[in-house]
Structure 1
């Protein structure tokens, strides 16, 4: 009886193991920055968002709030948003990688995960910049953009990548 469920249990176990290992590693990383303000990775993303916004004509400055573990974006001399650890999309990336590694198919798994993580990283930078632009020029749409539209973009990308992985890689012989 358990023989029938062995493939499913194997996939589930791989997912759980990879997810827990990545999540604990990330938490260990975050604990190193507990008293230093926003973590290094999140701060790098904030810097890249600032550079992108400056490039496209939205003059942006960053202000560190070490005690609050956040960075404020000042766009066109208006404090529009703040970057906290949860904005860096690492939890989404961990979920993505765990699912793909659950259906491990050798070297192409690693290549797909790295490519997917890069895509998610770039999309997240554009997502935060887009949110800053909405909060600067279209503040009346700020809440819906923050709570629904931009999360749908990042999570929708993850689901699309999962579907691509399953259809074109994981289920191919």
Structure 2
């Protein structure tokens, strides 16, 4: 048993680090959600911000857009050119995806400064791509409502998770301690 533990020490350390960081940040995020419900930023500040930024991007593209609090659930209704298309829920704000990204990078950490810069840049990139994803999904739902299922459950999750995967691969190959070329 001891030889197995020694043989797979780096894998065990990675898994334990990943789980500790992921659980820790998830706990903090759930605490944030429990204390963040206010009338000014419904349903929570980050989701509200994502909705407002999505609204601005859609308006810039020439759409008449409204983001209205949903009366029956913690979400924001997306109304494009007078048509109710979708709702933005807490899960649409990309924080859970960013937590997953951060947990992996920390578990495969490199030099402290490089790790922190990559975490910040990657998190901002994920946030921006998520905004663009919501904008494209809204436009897609408006023009092609018959493809709602494919757009929402296949294509757009593939965009965000595919990008996170590519960031992870880039991180491991360029900056992590496991890369001997650093």
TM-score, normalised relative to structure 1: 0.95
Instruction: State the partner residue of 2:26.
Output: 23
- CA distance in 1 between counterparts of 2:121 and 2:60 reads 25
Of 148, 151, 155, the match for 1:149: 155
Instruction: State the partner residue of 1:78.
Output: 83
Give the secondary-structure state (helix, strand or coil) at the position aligned to 2:175: helix
Is the Cα contact below 8 Å between 2:66 and 2:79 reproduced in 1?
yes
Give the secondary-structure state (helix, strand or coil) at the position aligned to 1:68: coil
- CA distance in 2 between counterparts of 1:65 and 1:141 reads 24
**Alpha-carbon offset, residue 67 of structure 1:** 4.6
**Alpha-carbon offset, residue 35 of structure 1:** 7.2
Of 80, 88, 98, the match for 2:93: 88
**Alpha-carbon offset, residue 4 of structure 1:** 2.2
Is the Cα contact below 8 Å between 1:62 and 1:72 reproduced in 2?
yes
Q: Structure 1 35/66 Cα, relative in aligned 2: closer, same or farther at 3 Å?
A: farther
Is the Cα contact below 8 Å between 1:35 and 1:67 reproduced in 2?
no
Is the Cα contact below 8 Å between 2:38 and 2:44 reproduced in 1?
no
- CA distance in 2 between counterparts of 1:107 and 1:33 reads 31
The CA deviation string for residues 26-57 of structure 1, in whole angstroms up to 9 with x for no partner, is 00001113575411100100000000000011
- CA distance in 2 between counterparts of 1:60 and 1:75 reads 5
Instruction: State the partner residue of 1:47.
Output: 52
- CA distance in 2 between counterparts of 1:162 and 1:32 reads 31
Give the secondary-structure state (helix, strand or coil) at the position aligned to 1:62: strand
TM-score, normalised relative to structure 2: 0.90
Give the secondary-structure state (helix, strand or coil) at the position aligned to 1:71: strand
Give the secondary-structure state (helix, strand or coil) at the position aligned to 1:38: coil
Q: What aligned pairs does 1:82-161 form with structure 2 within 5 A after superposition? A: 82-105=87-110, 106-161=112-167
Give the secondary-structure state (helix, strand or coil) at the position aligned to 1:63: strand
Give the secondary-structure state (helix, strand or coil) at the position aligned to 1:57: coil
Q: CA RMSD in A?
A: 1.4
- CA distance in 1 between counterparts of 2:107 and 2:81 reads 45
